[in-house]
Amino acid sequence: MKSGSARAAPGPGGRLRQASSGIATVLAYAAALMAYGFAACFLAGMAGWAGRLP
Amino acid sequence: MTARPRLDDYRIILAYSGRVAIGLGAVYAVPLAVAALEGEWAAFVDLSIGCSASLALGAALASLMPREARPGWLHGMVATAVSWLLAMFLAAIPYRLSGHYASWLDSLFDAMSGFTTTGLTLVQDLDHLSRALNTWRHVVTFVGGQGVVVLALSFLVGGSRGGYELYVGEAKDERLFPRVAHTAKAIWKISAVYLAVGVGALWVAGLSIGLPAKEAFYHGAWVYMAAWSTGGFAPMSQNVGYYHSAVYELVCVAFFLAGSLNFALHHALMTGNRRELARNAEVISFTVTFAGLFTLAAWALAGSGTYGGIATLLRKGFYHVISAHTTTGFMTVAARQFAREWTPLALCAMILAMMAGGSACSTAGGVKGMRVAMLWLAIRNEVRALLLPSHASFRRRIHASGDRDLGDGVVKGAALVALLYVATWVLTTMAGVAAGYSPMDAAFEGASVTGNVGLSIGVTAPGMPAALKVVYLLVMWVGRLEFMAVLALGRFVLSAFGRRRP
């Protein structure tokens, strides 16, 4: 692409790829939050279990 | 329009509201098609009456538009507030006619709860609701998530003047394109893409837990519409707990989290700008507040031994905190389990999550991550200004789908809305206490109503006092429109009794 020229709009296939990539990014973010949730539950569970020991 | 309104002012406002009513009438086609397909003729008649009323009243009001209309900010704001009230009345007609609601007030409450994507419900015998009426409940919440005005802007108002004022009145200020009608259409396109993916994913999840194919499709469509809209309605009285499936719950989390993100962010991601997710101030704000509040809730629940294992803690604790923070309101426990099994500290974390809310210009409610980020940065800047030498300068910008100035006016606006949310929550809590509920129950339900969340601790029920139903209904409306449109309506009504314009 020449300097200063407008970026060409993607075709139908390109738009579909971009949309899929956008959704995949959001799903990856959701997965990262779930992974954090698991780690926090694990640590809280261990701490809670230790706290209830006689 | 500062003095007494003229006849043309009323006509412009009513005409815009009429266009929204016509849009709503067109949306009735979806549940009517379901009723016809399923042979639910009683529901078909009820829905036809609602549809006819919407189209007839809408056409009558839309014809009032003056030829030389010059709509301004106040027209747009007032028309938005009026449109939401009108939509509530028109959507409630089939509810009341169905016999599943004890009164008109309960029907109106459910319609407002749907449009505002709150998700609290006063329906009776939900498990035996017709498919058509269940579809209508979820279509209402789906339309409400995108915005009833966005619907009208997309198809009816088009390029006419006043569109941007209406759009802003509905608490949306992102312009994905220079023309607001194009922005409204882009919002619907993003939702349509997710609709296809979400219904498909939930259909497969439904099949995997043994639902028949047709039932899995209906449940998938209903639950998706409620999830994407961060609505919280579900087709069964046990809410998402009905499915008893971790997979179903995980798929729901993915789509209600997506629904709570800014449409401008979705647009950036879907046009190839994937890095925006990591740079966006709203996403960072949400991630930090969610991580903090969930850690607090998990620690409180684990310490009290409410849930025995780590897996149960994750499935119940994580699910409800993220449901609260995205203002979705899906539940997998009974309402009174919050009061009986969750500790006060865990409930406090839930209240804070519900108040913080999702992203601006999304389907979510609450104070919003953008304002939380703005206020945090403003406080940080103030502290820096105190500590650094007087000649030192630093960046006062925030990144959310582009860099924005973090000037005093912007911070003041964010602080004002946040303050109004907190004040409304306090007043709603006091109303709950005055109605005889415990302070914690009233505070929890108050946060759920103010933030348009839909999680219930057991206060919202058909038997609750009628006055509290009215308070909750109004607070849902005010909270969804982020105060300004309703305050503009209040000023308009007051000015109608003011001095006549010279």
Residue B261 lies in a domain: no
Q: How do the domains of chain A map onto residue ranges?
A: 11-52
Contact B349, B293 (CB under 8 A): yes
Domain that holds residue B351: 279-497
Considering only residues 290 to 319 of chain B, which have any Cβ-Cβ distance to chain A shorter than 8 Å?
A: 290-291, 294-295, 298-299, 301-305, 309-310, 313-314, 317-318
Q: Which residues of B touch A54 (CB under 8 A)?
A: none
The Cα B65–Cα B160 span in angstroms is: 12
Give the ipTM of the model, two decimals please. Answer: 0.89
pLDDT of residue A49: 66
**Spatial contact of B62 and B19, defined as CB atoms under 8 Å apart:** yes
B296 in a structural domain: yes
Contacts of B410 (CB under 8 A, 6+ apart): B374, B404
Domain presence at residue B403: yes
pLDDT of res. A2: 45
Q: Which positions in chain A touch B250 (Cβ < 8 Å)?
A: 34
Number of structural domains chain B divides into: 1
Chain B residues touching residue A34 (CB < 8 angstroms): 250, 253, 318
Contact check, Cβ <8 Å, B277/A21: no
B chain contacts of residue A42, beta-carbon cutoff 8 Å: 310
pLDDT at B158: 53
Position B225 in a domain? no
Test mutation, B228, B274, B279, B363, chain A, max A CBs within 10 A: B274
- Counting residues of chain A whose pLDDT is more than 90, the rounded percentage is 35
Distances (CA, A) of B141 to B136, B228, B272: 9, 9, 29
Q: What is the average per-residue pLDDT within A35-52?
A: 82
Q: Is A1 a residue whose pLDDT tops 50?
A: no
Extract long-range pairs of B407-415: CB within 8 Å, 24+ residues apart. B410/B374, B411/B374, B411/B375, B411/B378, B414/B370, B414/B371, B414/B374, B414/B375, B414/B378, B415/B375, B415/B378
Contact: B257, A26; criterion CB under 8 Å: yes
Which residues of chain B have a pLDDT value below 50?
Answer: none
Does B197 contact A at CB distance below 8 Å? yes
Contact B163, B478 (CB under 8 A): no
> Which residue of B lies nearest to A42 if distances are taken between CA atoms?
B310
Name every chain B residue with its beta carbon within 8 A of the beta carbon of A23.
Answer: 193-194, 197, 258, 269-270
> Measured between alpha carbons, how far is B111 from B88 in angstroms, rounded to an integer?
5
Contact A40 B250 (CB under 8 A): no
Closest CA to B152 of B113, B187, B196: B187
Residue B164, pLDDT score: 67
Q: Is residue B491 in some structural domain?
A: yes
Burial class from Cβ neighbours inside 10 Å (0-12, 13-18, 19+) for residue B388 reads exposed
In a domain, B344, yes or no: yes
pLDDT at A3: 45
pLDDT at A4: 46
Q: What is the pTM of this model?
A: 0.92
